[in-house]
Structure 1
Amino acid sequence: IVAFYDPTISEADFEGRRLDQILAFNDNELEYHHDFIQYLFPLPERSPVNPHAPTITKDVRDAFLSRPDLRQQLTRSLQRMLEFYGFTTSPQSQHTDTISIVRGANFQGASKATWRTRMDHNHLRISRILRSLRVLGLDAEAKAFYDALLENDRDGSVSQRSKLYWQRAVERGLHLAPQD
């Protein structure tokens, strides 16, 4: 994971894709491919759907906590997925220590196509993203994304079960997976 995110190494995933190549996927590619998300947002637990997916160890977590360059690369991954889901970061948050996630120009189409529905595989991806961000030291970003999701689901399109997993991913102790 560290070598994949390290901008001086840029190691490829098991499919031979580097971070910049994955981040350059168009929205259809992000929707179609299901094996990249575990690389962009790894977890301490093994993936039940991708046996090649890396897992976060203590050494990996320590590297992300101590290296701003790794967290910056992780932030790039978050920004790409935010765009995919119809969000962007507020221009003000780019100049402060706080982050604010707001609707992007593509919100209506992107949100309906990806996450504003009762249940979708993107809900699982969102749970993964939220927890991975926290484990790797981007707690504020995880909380801002979670808040944006709730703020923009006022019509109740998303199932309570998915929202519960998202809440657990953001609020529970990091030693507990959201589904436990």
Structure 2
Amino acid sequence: MLERSHDYIQWLFPLPEASRFNHNAPVLRPEDMAEIKASDAAKANMRRARDRMLDFYKVNDHWLTAFDHNHLRITRIIRCLKLALGTDEARGFHDEIRALVAAAGNPVNAESLSYWRNAAGKSSDPC
């Protein structure tokens, strides 16, 4: 279901910019961000969503190709985690995803890897 549906990721991991793909998705405003950061329940729910998506990527390898729409999802997840939960959370997810990519023989294109690194705040790190 996570692969067939394309409108949930923007709700689970909102960003300050409007989605180009889901015009009904929320846009994360500064007051929304403050509310998330102040709410233990909101942070716990975001961590559960992060864990669910990581589990999805661990048991499915179809995204481990040069180009896949999941690469955009991963960028969104990392960016949202950094904004809402902090750099450590974003980097942790990034590191887990990169380990999956490395274990698959590094099939993901350099541009996607760069987007992930930048989203995690690791722009000076090598792939």
For the criterion TM > 0.5, the same-fold answer is yes
Quick one: which amino acid aligns to residue 161 of structure 1?
E
Give, as a single letter, the amino acid of the residue that structure 1 aligns with 2:39: R
Q: How many residues align?
A: 120
1:131 maps to a residue whose letter is R
Q: Which residue pairs with 2:72 in the alignment?
A: 124
The alpha-carbon deviation at position 141 of structure 1 amounts to: 2.0
Q: Distance in 1 between matches of 2:97 and 2:54?
A: 10
The answer on 1:163 being equivalent to 2:104 is no
Match of 2:3 among 11, 18, 31: 31
Q: Which has the higher contact order (CA 8 A, sep 6+)?
A: 2
Deviation readout 1:70-93 (Å, 9 max, x if unpaired): 10011111111111101xxxxxxx
Instruction: Tell me the SS of whatever aligns to 1:61.
Output: helix
Structure 1 position 53, deviation (Å): 0.7
CA apart distance, 1:124: 0.3
Q: TM-score if structure 2 supplies the norm length? A: 0.89
2:8 and 2:33 mapped to 1: Cα distance? 19
**Deviation sequence 1:91-132 (CA, Å, 0-9, x none):** xxxxxxxxxxxxxxx3xxx1x22x211110000000000001
Length-normalised TM-score, structure 1: 0.64
| Pair member with larger Rg | 1
Please state if 1:43 is matched with 2:15: yes
Q: Counterparts of 2:87 and 2:43 in 1: how far apart (Å)?
A: 11
Using the aligned pairs only, state the percent identity: 37
Deviation at 1:152?
2.8
The amino acid of 1:163's aligned partner reads: L
Distance 1:37 1:138 in 2: 19
1:71·1:138 contact (CA, 8 Å) conserved in 2?
A: no
Runs of 4+ in 1 over 6 A off after TM superposition: none
CA contact (8 A) 2:78 2:119 kept: yes
Q: Please give the residue correspondences for 1:103-142 in structure 2 after superposition, counting only pairs within 5 Å.
A: 106=59, 110=60, 112-113=61-62, 115-142=63-90
Mapped partners of 1:66, 1:120: distance in 2: 35
Aligned-pair CA distance for 1:43: 0.3
2:42 paired residue number: 70
Q: Tell me how large the CA RMSD over aligned residues is.
A: 1.3
C-alpha deviation, 1:156, in angstroms: 1.7
Deviation (angstroms), 1:59: 0.5
Gapped regions of structure 2 (runs ≥ 5): 123-127
Greater helix fraction, Structure 1 or Structure 2: 2
